[in-house]
Amino acid sequence: FYNNLFVNYQRKKIKIQLGVDYATQENADTTGKKSASMYSALMSIRYQCSSKFAIYCRGEIFNDRDGFISGVFVNEKNRLTGLKLMGVTAGIEYKPTENSYVRLEGRQLIADDTQKIFRWNNKSTNKRMEAMIHFGLSF
């Protein structure tokens, strides 16, 4: 069973989006004997500064404790677990033409304290910072 719900709200230059996902599956936990479940949620807000510029921010969480969607791995306590993660993203978008965009975006991802899934300076860590540039063209 997988269900998601999204709500979009827009008023003038502000757009807000809320989303929730929930899933469950029988015989799908790390032992294969019990039911497993996961949930995720997000909230984003976008402000259209002008016809060519917008700024936005998004917060999200993902909790697949049993790993039936994200897969399982051994955490720092030597236990089999699924992914537990949260993140915040902020960015600015420039639209040089009606059918193209350039985005500059920063993101912070934080996994559970026992889930050192990222590498930085040859060390395992549960945090990751990213900076991205996106280009898009629609036709």
pLDDT of residue 80: 85
Q: Name the one residue in this structure whose structure tokens are 């993203």.
A: 89
- pTM of the predicted model as reported, rounded to 2 decimal places: 0.83
Q: pLDDT tens across 111-138, in order?
A: 999 999 999 999 999 999 999 999 999 9
Q: pLDDT tens across 79-108, in order?
A: 888 999 999 999 999 999 999 999 999 999
